[in-house]
Structure 1
Amino acid sequence: MSSTHLPTADSETPAERARELQQIHEERSHVTPGEIAVGVVIGRASEYFDFFVYGIASVLVFPTLFFPFKDPLQATLWSFVIFSFAFIARPLGTVISMKIQTRFNREVKLTVALFLLGICTVGIAFLPGYATLGFGAVIVLSLLRTGQGLALGGSWDGLPSLLALNAPAGKRGWYAMIGQLGAPLGFVLASSLFAYLYSSLPQEDFLSFGWRYAFFVAFAINVVALFARLRLVATDEYRHMLEERELAPVPVSELAGTQGHNILIGAFAALASYALFHLITVFPLSWIRLNNPELLTRFLVVQVVGAFLCGAGVVGSGWLADRFGRRSTLGSLAIAIGVFSLAMPWLLSTSSGYIGKDLFLLVGFVLLGLSYGQAAGAVTANFELRYRYMGAALTSDVAWLIGAAFAPLVALGLAAHFGLPYVSIYLLSGVVCTLVALRLNKALTARSD
């Protein structure tokens, strides 16, 4: 038995402590980084599939089903308002779930969260529309969407942080991108399913019952993912690794008081990537539906191709980050996103035809993969080990809230009322926030050194 003991926080810097804990893990643990990576990908893919199923339905289904008393544009905007509720509720879900974990354990927290997610997802699948329940259907949809947000906040299992902490030297960028692969994988599955249902069913049947199958599939995937994640989370080795890394909940007041600046910097550092996330997936789908509805099926298929390119970009981001540094990679890609935003008005205009819209999607998905692959881990390493578990979760929640929650709503409103160039300005504002946040992070890191 090794006599290695844990170092004290007073005698060592966070970087030294992390290295020594890495050595302890290698001596004691039988859970390999590969097993953790599998758990991360399964968990994130299931969450993103659920995420994109709702996002696509908020464009193709919910405006007609729940807001038939509005014109198509206003109906879609109201649908996007409800879409944002999950992101608003997500930080609260994280805080509540951490209290559940403190009172019981991580397994109970994860089970409650994913059961709540499953119940809300199935509830949406069975929910009648406005024609049956009147405005009550809108209220119930809002409650179920809020429940999804609470559940997603509670689904944080610490696996991405654990994976990053166990990354070999010189491979932190590579390991940081693994969890992000869940996004393109989830989108490929969701978009492919909707493309099939939308193209193979008459419009009346699709709006009546066809779209509901996607939510049933989302529920089934969540059940499988729950057991796959619990199988890893419930092991003694995993529990010991978390204890050694001090990956456990801390009081919110303590976290905000000591690490609040890291949460805000981390959230704004990812802003360009998170804004692009919805401006390349949900928003353009709504724009096409309102202006070129005959292209919808083709657009969904091109988005699937783009999602594969996004996955390749996520993988490529790991190599770039390990070669040039994660902050430098994220900053350079933010600038590239800014350049891309300038071309957005022409690419999405009616005059650009198929080529412009295809280029918008394919180039946008590549940039999304390259930037999003490192967006989650660019500055979370700044957290002291004691705060990293909860700090990483809340940083992600805040990033989604300020960067992605209202992006489809704002972009569609700007494009419809003022023109596509204003969407470019909106995305450029996210780029500026990212660059400023990365600059502040660099200055704070240099000062702490």
Structure 2
Amino acid sequence: MSSGSYAMEQPTSFDMEKDARAIHAGSEADPGKIALGVIIGRSSEFFDFFVYAIASVLVFPTHFFPMYDHLTGILLSFCVFSLAFIARPIGTVVFTVIDRLYGRGTKLIIALFVLGGSTAGIGFLPGYDLIGYWAVGFLVIFRLGQGFALGGAWDGLASLLALNAPKNQRGWYAMMPQLGAPIGFILASGLFAFSYASLHLEDFLTFGWRYPFFVAFAINVVALFARLRLVATGEFGSMLDRQELKPVKTSDLLRTHGMDVLIGTFTPLASFALFHLVTVFPLSWVSLYSQHEITSFLLIEMVGALICVGTIVLSGILADRIGRQRLLAIAAGVIAIFSLAAPFMLEAGEAGEEAFVLIGFAVLGLSFGQAAGAVSSHFGRVYRYSGAALTSNMAWLIGAGFAPLVALGLASTVGLGYVGLYMFSGAACTLAALALSRKLRSSDG
């Protein structure tokens, strides 16, 4: 029996999506509704992301790696942290097949429940003192599960938002999905700061750190229903019917848009590297080498994230005035300059550490605000859905997956100056990718 006839005989989420679209036929998927769904979805994903990242510094070194010194424990935690980014592109490829065969609703439900289940599972894990290396093994499995699920959680709403944006406001709508990152960070940092400040250290390390992981599961369930509700709208369905936002085979995507995938992977490198260098890395540096109190530093980072919200919004305004590519190039140049000053800030005590975070978040927002739009802008409509998902996850792997591990390893062994050099290399990659993109577009024209 052919796969086509099998798909016709077996009930899939395609049928449910069509029924839901019929029910909501009068509901228009206007940009405002889509933007709300995108922000909710991205905020939930980044909340999961940062809950794990913060715990990698504050909890996991003593909970899973107590046999090592604190620096080695954090480095090992960052090694496990990186596994999710390796699993993300794999998840994208696998869930693309699920999407093509069984529908977007089925894919989203599986992906988000695997994500939430893996996150909640980490919250239940006993430590090394109770089950030994089994604890580390389960942590690795759940972390791979998080990354695998995130690779499949792409719902296409960001692409739908871009396609529905007025031509003179594409930068404005492109920045909206990016707001999920600072919002998720604020929520995760706030929960950890409250728990850390409210409990004795022993209680925090025993049970206090687990609550954010359980909250993450609940948020994922809410986000799932919000996103499925938008998938069922009439306009979204009509775009699917015109094959503008349908999954395509990865082999077809790479054959048609291989160079665009490569350029899109390296274009946001400056932003994605800086992303971890102002969130996860400074928290690890402060916990090891600074007298800065953890709760107050988390609050400073939350202020930085609020500043990031403002500069992400500003990026939307600027991109519509000067162009997205030009803004990304300018932001990469600013990141390169910031990389030269960063080591001096981190060596300047508490005031310098705070300045590094606040300035870093401000710069991050200008670049990160347009990073997602740059990744997907060169794909044709038929390939945009799958192309944006694969390229984004490849960019996260190369640009951000190993950033905390590399930065802390360099800072602890050869000095903070090499962290600045690492940051500078990300800016250079972005500028090179933008230059190659312009060259290819001009030759095509």
Residue 25 of structure 1 corresponds to none
CA distance in 2, matches of 1:234, 1:139: 39
Residue 390 of structure 1 corresponds to 386
Of residues 328, 343, 352 in structure 2, which corresponds to 1:356? 352
Of residues 273, 280, 286 in structure 1, which corresponds to 2:278? 280
Q: Which consecutive residues of structure 1, in runs of 5 or more, have no partner in the other structure?
A: 1-27
Residue 113 of structure 1 corresponds to 111
Q: Does 1:77 align with 2:63?
A: no
Residue 226 of structure 2 corresponds to 228
Of residues 34, 46, 51 in structure 1, which corresponds to 2:49? 51
CA distance in 1, matches of 2:224, 2:96: 18
SS in 1 for 2:293: helix
1:28-85 CA distance string (max 9 Å, x none): 9822111111110000000000100000000000011000001111110000000011
Residue 340 of structure 2 corresponds to 342
For structure 1, which segment, 140-149 or 236-245, has the greater mean C-alpha deviation from structure 2 after superposition? 236-245
**What is the Cα deviation at residue 258 of structure 1?**
1.5
Of residues 431, 435, 438 in structure 2, which corresponds to 1:439? 435
Q: Does 1:132 align with 2:126?
A: no
For 2:422, give the aligned amino acid: Y
**What is the Cα deviation at residue 175 of structure 1?**
0.4
Q: Does 1:268 align with 2:266?
A: yes
Residue 424 of structure 2 corresponds to 428
C-alpha change, 1:302 and 1:61, in structure 2 (3 Å) is same
Residue 21 of structure 1 corresponds to none
C-alpha change, 1:294 and 1:340, in structure 2 (3 Å) is closer
Q: Contact conserved, 1:162 with 1:242, CA < 8 A, in 2? A: no
C-alpha change, 1:139 and 1:293, in structure 2 (3 Å) is farther
Q: Does 1:372 align with 2:368?
A: yes
Residue 87 of structure 1 corresponds to 85
Note the 1:152-301 alignment, pairs <5 A: 152-244=150-242, 246-292=244-290, 294-301=292-299
**What is the Cα deviation at residue 243 of structure 1?**
3.0
1:310-337 CA distance string (max 9 Å, x none): 0001100001110110010001000100
Of residues 321, 324, 342 in structure 2, which corresponds to 1:323? 321
Residue 148 of structure 1 corresponds to 146
CA distance in 1, matches of 2:198, 2:123: 19
Residue 308 of structure 1 corresponds to 306
**What is the Cα deviation at residue 354 of structure 1?**
2.5
Q: Contact conserved, 2:253 with 2:387, CA < 8 A, in 1? A: yes
SS in 1 for 2:247: coil
CA distance in 2, matches of 1:252, 1:413: 35
Q: TM-score, normalised by structure 1?
A: 0.92
For 2:329, give the aligned amino acid: G
1:146-205 CA distance string (max 9 Å, x none): 000111011100000110011101100000000000001000111111111111111100
1:268-311 CA distance string (max 9 Å, x none): 01000000000000001000001125521111010000000000
**What is the Cα deviation at residue 257 of structure 1?**
1.4
SS in 2 for 1:170: helix
For 1:395, give the aligned amino acid: T
CA distance in 2, matches of 1:445, 1:171: 22
CA distance in 2, matches of 1:324, 1:242: 32
Q: Which consecutive residues of structure 2, in runs of 5 or more, have no partner in the other structure?
A: 1-25
Q: TM-score, normalised by structure 2?
A: 0.93
Q: Contact conserved, 2:27 with 2:233, CA < 8 A, in 1? A: no
**What is the Cα deviation at residue 235 of structure 1?**
2.9
Q: Does 1:400 align with 2:366?
A: no
Q: Contact conserved, 1:379 with 1:441, CA < 8 A, in 2? A: no
Q: What count of residue pairs does the alignment treat as equivalent? A: 421
CA distance in 2, matches of 1:171, 1:41: 17
CA distance in 2, matches of 1:340, 1:296: 24
CA distance in 2, matches of 1:442, 1:219: 42
For 1:171, give the aligned amino acid: Q
